[in-house]
A = this chain, B = another copy of it.
């Protein structure tokens, strides 16, 4: 049986499922971000199961710096460490090195940088990234890449994409070796390649053609949602999607709003991740099927209805807007937790709805009804 199975299509949108060493993922899917092996807002992996989460995402860079991937390996891997027995994807560390770390220096071998925690000098290249991800034992490892700023000069983007391609070949070799090691934490770990090229469609397409030849278990579109307009992002997805292998899942990294997700599903994307549900939740911005509400607003002071009356999440089953608002106004940590929990459930439920509509052939209708509404502030 193929690892990725396409169940149905509507236009370019795809309904599928993907097999990992820790179970099957129904796609399109939203991955819940547990950066440092913990979800921001005091949400635990034990809670994630109640929030309809199918797959958690953790950050290689963060976990390498603290507590250290060797420690996590020694403790049996990331699944055991953070108590999550469903699939985990780890990013490569590249994005954080280029956004968080200081004094980085890029060479062919990899990148030298200073830890954002204690300043110590570190080095990461394709082999190091794959080694760390092997120690973490994630189900999906991401290739080590450079995520270039938008806008960047064409020459820089081309050279970077070429280097990222050469790095991918080294990643593949390292990955193939690591999963065959006798003491591999997760011998079923898979590798996804990452397409780069900023918003230069020809660079993206050329890069995509080359990496698809490597026959990897999945492919990501990286380097978007980093400063370009939504339209530029959509255009870039459309340009490159044609060249992505039909029989492999496609992952749009770091995207996005509910509307962004619907629009990208319509353009053939299967996997998403974003810090938005947790980050917006911590600011009291709560997603509903009618748009985004700010729970700190005075009008919710005596509102005893749930955040979203149509929502079936554990928060909406128990607590009122008035109580949530009180928690935020009183700076009670519980407010953050409830808000983040609701938002994660909203995102995971949104993917449920997208999948259901794809199954019933009504996705385009769903898209027209909700793509704009969900991103509106109410």
Contact = CB atoms under 8 A, between A and B. Distances in A.
A320 interface: yes
The 7 closest A-B pairs by CB, nearest first: A42-B42, A42-B333, A38-B332, A42-B337, A67-B326, A38-B334, A36-B330
A121 interface: no
B327 A38 contact: yes
Contacts of A333: 40-42, 333, 336-337
30 contacts: A36-B326, A36-B332, A37-B323, A38-B332, A38-B335, A39-B334, A40-B332, A40-B333, A42-B332, A42-B334, A42-B336, A44-B318, A44-B319, A44-B337, A46-B318, A67-B322, A67-B325, A67-B326, A67-B330, A71-B322, A75-B302, A75-B304, A75-B320, A75-B322, A81-B320, A81-B323, A81-B326, A83-B318, A83-B319, A333-B336
A43 B334 contact: yes
B44 A326 contact: no
Given A37-B323, A46-B318, A67-B301, 20 more contacts: A36-B326, A36-B330, A36-B332, A38-B330, A41-B333, A43-B334, A44-B318, A44-B337, A44-B338, A62-B330, A67-B322, A67-B325, A67-B329, A75-B302, A75-B320, A75-B322, A76-B304, A83-B318, A333-B337, A337-B337
Contacts of A3: none
A247 interface: no
A66 B302 contact: no
Interface string A187-203: 00000000000000000
Nearest to A329: B66
Contacts of A304: 75-76
A313 to B, nearest CB: 12
A100 interface: no
Nearest to A331: B36
Interface string A71-114: 10011100001110000000000000000000000000000000
B302 A71 contact: yes
In this complex, the interface size class of chain A, counting residues with CB under 8 Å from chain B, is 35 or more
Contacts of A83: 318-319, 323
Contacts of A302: 71, 74-75
Interface string A328-361: 0110111111100000000000000000000000
Given A83-B319, A336-B42, A330 B66 contact: yes
A231 B7 CA distance: 73
A297 B313 CA distance: 37
A334 B341 CA distance: 13
Given A81-B322, A323-B37, A326-B67, A44 B301 contact: no
Contacts of A325: 67
Nearest to A322: B75
A268 to B, nearest CB: 35
Contacts of A82: 323
A332 B38 CA distance: 7
Contacts of A43: 334
A39 B330 CA distance: 12
A75 B320 CA distance: 10
Contacts of A337: 42, 44, 333, 337
